Amino acid sequence: MAYLKPTVSIIVACYNSQSTIARTIDSILAQSFKNWELIIIDDCSTDNSASIIKNYADNDSRIIYLKTSRNTGAPSSPRNIGIKNASGLYIAFVDSDDMWLPDKLQQQIQLIEQNNYDLVYSHYEKVNNKYKRNGRIIKTRHKTTYNDLLKSNHIPFLTSVVKRSAIGETLFKNIPQEDYCFWLDILKKGITAHNLCKVTALYRDSKSSRSVNKWQMAQGFWNVIRKHQNIGLLRCWYYMINYTIAGFLKYIR
């Protein structure tokens, strides 16, 4: 079924995800909320990802396949292409190896529209490399302001839904922890993000994940708050301590 104007534009950056992308797409097709478009941006994959995505797109006009002109090596540029091509009132993001639970969009859109929120997120559950669920629930703040976010990234990327108008001209920077900087740039406008406080997504805890290297993550965090948010040195150290504690608590779950 085709929708002339989708309510939600779902953006997925994809690179060599032939073993996982079908699960991600299937979880979106299973959504109880149906008025969406799925924009998948292929960063010049060298595996079978493109043919898998195109097969889905051939069978559902809501699924749109786009491709970068060259491999960019990071999700920032593909996501920005997705934002620029999105036609929905809301934007949602998910990675090409994560999954949504069936009522994610329905519950979050309802939360946004009942309260006139600009940005919502939720809890999520970590699953292993084979998507086995073990009840590893990651909970975060009930609501998040810019100052809250400076201490740690409380907005799980795969659970987010944001108004297109709140994004405005904001785009992802081509830096480590680009999603964290993106949320900071949005909340810096005076926006508060709100948590549905339910599990809506499954995060695949893969050893190949970019988040595995904790030292690089810490360096990326410092770079975001010091260079791109222009936070003073003493405050940076304060936020760094908060980030380290929050990261440790998240890691042990």
Low-confidence stretches of the chain (pLDDT beneath 50)? 1-3, 210
For 208, left (φ over 0), alpha (ψ -120 to 50), or beta? alpha
User: If you count them, how many residues does the chain have?
Assistant: 253
Query: Could you tell me if 12 and 24 are in contact, meaning their C-beta atoms sit under 8 angstroms apart?
Result: yes
pTM of the model: 0.92
User: The tokens of 108 are what?
Assistant: 């979050």
- Residue 3's pLDDT is what? 45
How many Å apart are CA 193 and CA 180, to the nearest integer?
13
CA dihedral 123, 33, 109, 80 (to 10 degrees): 80
User: The tokens of 18 are what?
Assistant: 């032939």
